[in-house]
Amino acid sequence: MGSVPLPRFVVVDVETSGLSDRRHRILQLGAVVIEANGTVIDQWSTLVRLRWPLQRVGPTHIHGITRPMLRGAPRLSTALDQLAPFLDGAIFTAHNAQFDAGFIVRAAHRRAGFELGPQLCTLRMSRRLDPDRQLSHRLIDVAERYGVDLTAPHDALADAAATAAVLPHLLDAHHIVEPEQLAPFFVGPKRPQ
């Protein structure tokens, strides 16, 4: 019996108004769909309009997103509807998946049919290669280690694209060729409280 090939991955990144999925909001979503070898199948991103006009956008000096940039953006419910087809049949993947998935799951928990399931974490994959914690595992540093350009850090699509480019290197470093081998690197599924 032959081995089961790895499925597609949808690498997702969110930019938010802060670090708490309870108090802060999603400002931007980015997704890149790839094969295990790194071939990009599709990509998508959107800014997300805040629910209230005076809601804070948080650390603009980090993510570069201002309130005026969000005025014409779709509402979060529309953005989640646009994201859902990318997730279908692919493994949700993110660098620090608990953070990104936490915001998405909290935002989508009342939406019928929106389910993330377990999330593959490239941060966890990178850290397992460095058990003595000699290296930095921030996305920009991991990307640099693998020769991946991250030209616009803290832009959701740029971060998702860099993570997507790093993922095949991490799969190779862990000798992952079958879906079962991904199990130690999953987090979630996270449920809102």
Output the tens digit of pLDDT for each of the chain's 193 residues.
557 889 999 999 999 999 998 889 999 999 999 999 999 999 999 999 998 766 889 999 999 999 999 999 999 999 999 999 999 999 999 999 999 999 998 888 766 667 788 899 999 999 999 999 999 999 999 999 999 999 899 999 999 999 999 999 999 999 999 999 999 999 976 444 4
Q: What is the 3-state secondary structure (H, E, C) of 158-184?
A: HHHHHHHHHHHHHHHHCCCCCHHHHHH
∠138-139-140 over CA atoms, to 5°? 95
State the architecture of 13-187 in CATH terms.
Answer: 2-Layer Sandwich (3.30)
- How does DSSP classify residue 72? T
* CA nearest neighbour of 154 among 169, 138, 166: 138
**What residue ranges do the domains of the chain occupy?**
13-187
